[in-house]
Amino acid sequence: MKKLSPAKVCLSLLVGVFMPAVSGYAGFDTTVPVSAQTATNIARSLFPVSLKSGAGNLYLTDPVVIFIDDKRIGLQAHLQAYDHRPEQGIAISEEGDAVVSGEVGFDPQTRQILLYNPKIDRLAFVNESAVTKRLRADVQAAWEAQVTNPIRAELPPHPFITPFKDGIQGVTYENGSIFVQVGYLKVSGN
């Protein structure tokens, strides 16, 4: 893991401040660790989420990022599945929770976060019934029809990420933390 060295910062600042007329480059890179709590806070800024699933809808709230093992990161969320079609006499609402997981990565070309080998780890409803079995089957079918490997997502517009968003070079997960590799290159004299 690379750490930001004060010498690199000072060198970059000195080159940028004292040599502005000279065409040249000064740069540094660092790694920003992201804890499960920070990742959860970022996820919360993107919720609630409403999704279509079969004839019904899913409403997801209360996300929590969990580090499952040494490779997989999960996202747990409260789930409300509902199918309200009054004209057909249908009014279904069931609550539960879901966990989806994958292996995190980053595509520097598209600037997207990647989730490799995504899967539904858990989809459980409070009340088990024929209706919830159908809802679970609808969710699974929608997942299989719509989810790609990897899942691609835009970088979230969150205050934690904004200061270094343009410098992100990679995202990895190891030792119970997400690490964002950030590199900056300053062109002086232009």
Residue 3 within any structural domain of the chain:
no
- What size, in residues, is the chain? 190
Residue 42 within any structural domain of the chain:
no
Q: CA-CA distance, 140 to 73, in Å (whole number)?
A: 20
Each residue's pLDDT tens digit, 94-146:
899 999 999 999 998 998 999 999 999 999 999 888 888 888 888 888 888 88
Domain range for 96 is 47-102+118-149
Backbone angles phi, psi at 128, to 5 degrees: -90, 125
Residue 20 within any structural domain of the chain:
no
- In this prediction, residues 82-86 reach a mean pLDDT of 75
Residue 23 within any structural domain of the chain:
no
Answer left, alpha or beta for residue 40, where phi above 0 means left and psi between -120 and 50 means alpha: alpha
Residue 78 within any structural domain of the chain:
yes
Say how many domains are in the chain: 1
| Contacts (Cβ under 8 Å, ≥6 apart) of 137 | none
> Model pTM?
0.74
Residue 38 within any structural domain of the chain:
no
Residue 156 within any structural domain of the chain:
no
